[in-house]
Amino acid sequence: MKQVTTLILTVLLLSTLCAAAHAAEPLLSVSFAEKAWDPAAWTLCRNPTVDYLGKWVQHDTYVENETPADPAKRSALEGSLTTMVYATKFSGDYTVAATLQIGAGAAPGIIIAQDLTDDDKGRPQYGEFYECIIYEKGINLWHHFARDGKRTYEKTSWSSFALKPDTPYKFEVHKKGKSLLLSVDGHDVGVLIQTLPDELYLGVEGCEGICRAYDFSVTR
């Protein structure tokens, strides 16, 4: 009986360890350090409400959205808004995470996009999508969509608290079914989106100032 009990406990322990190992295995893990990632695996996309595609500037350990040299123009969307999504969609429940640094007045974030199309100039652009944004005053979740044939957007959810500029933060978006939970620095904001599809493009964003992205991951 003792041997049977020991065997059962061993099997349960191994099952638990295997399950934990599987749960921790990332679907995607990317460092944005120089020569550590493949830009060809990502699609640079345009927000349809801003006639600007943007560009990422490579540094030793991170990428940074290109911004105007004139500090007075650095917060403008035209000239600073840069986003990209991984070329393959993700489905099911998962956690998206990115280490992002907020420049003074800036707004980096995680992109969740339902679909991509080309604009009249052949530039990739989002259809319906969400911007999960962190900035010095907290979290904002913006929903971008078309209404009556015109592009518009609305703030779907938010939470107000202080974050420090020029400080890297681990920002996470947990997807479970139709729900999203946005988490950073011990603060959370949740939202239920009944129209959220199962398959989604995921990526990063920098805008309204200097933003840095150090890494990006998707895990179950």
The whole domain housing 93 covers: 28-219
Check whether 16 has a pLDDT greater than 50.
Answer: no
Report the chain's mean pLDDT, rounded to a whole number. 90
Residue 12 lies in a domain: no
Q: What is the pLDDT of residues 81-109, one digit of tens each?
A: 999 999 999 999 999 999 999 999 999 99
What distance in Å separates the CA atoms of residue 206 and residue 84, rounded to the nearest whole number?
Answer: 10
pLDDT value of position 24? 56
H/E run at residue 28: strand 26-31
Residue 139 lies in a domain: yes
Band of pLDDT at residue 72, cut at 50, 70 and 90: confident
- The dihedral formed by the CA atoms of 143, 134, 91 and 82, expressed in degrees to the nearest 10: 80
Residue 22 lies in a domain: no
Residue 173 lies in a domain: yes
Give the CATH number, domain containing residue 115: 2.60.120.560
C-beta separation of 142 from 182 below 8 A? no
C-beta separation of 48 from 119 below 8 A? yes
Band of pLDDT at residue 129, cut at 50, 70 and 90: very high
Residue 126 lies in a domain: yes
Check whether 49 has a pLDDT greater than 70.
Answer: yes
Check whether 184 has a pLDDT greater than 50.
Answer: yes
Residue 11 lies in a domain: no
Query: How many domains is the chain partitioned into structurally?
Result: 1
Query: 105 pairs with which residues across the strands?
Result: none
Q: Could you tell me the two tokens for 7? A: 């065997």
Contacts with 40 (C-beta within 8 Å, 6 or more apart), sequence order: none
Check whether 8 has a pLDDT greater than 50.
Answer: no
Closest CA to 86 of 215, 220, 208, 202: 202
pLDDT value of position 196? 97
Residue 75 lies in a domain: yes
Give the range among 23-27, 72-76, 162-166, 202-206 with minimum mean pLDDT: 23-27
Put simply, whether the predicted model's pTM sits higher than 0.85 gets the answer yes
Q: What is the pLDDT of residues 141-161, one digit of tens each?
A: 999 999 888 999 999 999 999
